[in-house]
Amino acid sequence: MIVYDIKESFVQRDMDLVRQLLLRLEQDPNMDGKHSVCFTPADLGMADRSTAEIGYHLNLLIDAGFVRGRSGFDDMPMLFKFTWEGHEFLDNIKDAGVWAKTRKRVEGLSGVALKVVAAIAEAEIKKHLGL
């Protein structure tokens, strides 16, 4: 048996970081499904974050089905493109006002499932549209 040491361990999602990553990935023309991209924190404009932290959250985006990609032994996965669900989620949280209201509604809770965050953001948009 081979056991690998993990330099840093993250067991909590940072939903603000998830949003920042999705916003940044959407801007990159290489996220078109024709390229395989491995970002560094500096590439993403997040040099203040560790590679392990960014990689962990990018892998969560793959696991959630928001982006297509491939995990590897390095901290950073290879990314290919957004999925339909990834675009839908990002569209619901893209607006800073909607995101602020969504964050306020879950404030004080010890944890909230991603699907609940998505549903709250969608409800905020519907409320804004009068639906």
Q: Domain check: are 76 and 112 in the same one?
A: no
How many domains would you assign to the chain? 2
Q: What is the pLDDT of residue 32?
A: 92
H runs (alpha helix) in the chain = 15-27, 51-63, 84-93, 96-106, 114-129
pTM, two decimal places: 0.86
Residue 4, domain member (yes or no): no
Give yes or no for a contact between 123 and 108, defined as CB atoms under 8 angstroms apart: no
Measured distance CA(82)–CA(85) in Å, rounded = 8
120 within some domain: yes
The one-digit pLDDT tens for each residue of the chain (131 residues) are: 665 565 555 567 899 999 999 999 999 999 999 999 999 899 999 999 988 889 999 999 999 999 999 986 567 899 999 999 999 999 999 999 999 999 999 888 877 888 889 999 999 999 989 98
Question: In this structure, are 62 and 34 located in the same domain?
Answer: yes
- Is the dihedral angle over the CA atoms 86, 121, 22, 14 positive or is it negative? negative
Q: Is residue 44 part of a domain?
A: yes
Residues 32 and 70 in one domain: yes
Distance in angstroms (rounded) separating the CA atoms of residues 57 and 48: 15
Domain carrying residue 46:
15-82
Residue 67 sits in the same domain as residue 109: no
Q: Are residues 66 and 96 in the same domain?
A: no
Reference 25, options 44, 40, 2; nearest CA is: 44
DSSP-assigned beta bridge partners for residue 78: 70
Token match 């990159």: residue? 28
**Residue 40 is part of a domain; what is its CATH number?**
1.10.10
Same domain, yes or no, for 68 and 93?
no
pLDDT of residue 1: 61
Q: Please report whether residue 57 resides in a domain.
A: yes
Both 45 and 98 in one domain: the answer is no
Q: Please check whether residues 98 and 50 belong to one and the same domain.
A: no
Domain check: are 68 and 118 in the same one? no
For residues 83, 85, 86, 92, the Cα torsion angle rounded to the nearest 10 degrees is 150
CA nearest neighbour of 120 among 33, 104, 82, 81: 104
Predicted confidence at residue 8, as pLDDT, reads 56
Q: Tell me whether residue 70 is in a domain.
A: yes
